[in-house]
Amino acid sequence: MASPSPIDQVAERIERLLLRHAELQRTNALLSEQVATLTQERDSLRSRLQAARARINTLIERLPSASQDQEQQP
């Protein structure tokens, strides 16, 4: 059996490189989608955290202070 010519070897290698390139493009697209999803989730969690902090700060402000407690005691 004769060995493939150099042109056939180059052509085969180019085909493999093109397939690998297509695979990497698909992988990159999937990873970009994941990054976008995670970024959106992170932003949502940050927003929820800020809202929770605001609610907690409001509740803390409504608590009587220690000095008010001492004034109210007989």
DSSP string, 3-70: PPPHHHHHHHHHHHHHHHHHHHHHHHHHHHHHHHHHHHHHHHHHHHHHHHHHHHHHHHHHSPPHHHHH
**Has this prediction a pTM greater than 0.75?**
no
Gap between the Cα atoms of 18 and 11, Å rounded: 10
Alpha-carbon separation of residue 49 from 27, 37, 57, 63, 65 (angstroms): 32, 18, 12, 21, 25
Quote the pLDDT of residue 42. 98
pLDDT digits (tens, 9 = 90+) for 30-56: 999 999 999 999 999 999 999 999 999
Quote the pLDDT of residue 40. 98
Quote the pLDDT of residue 33. 98
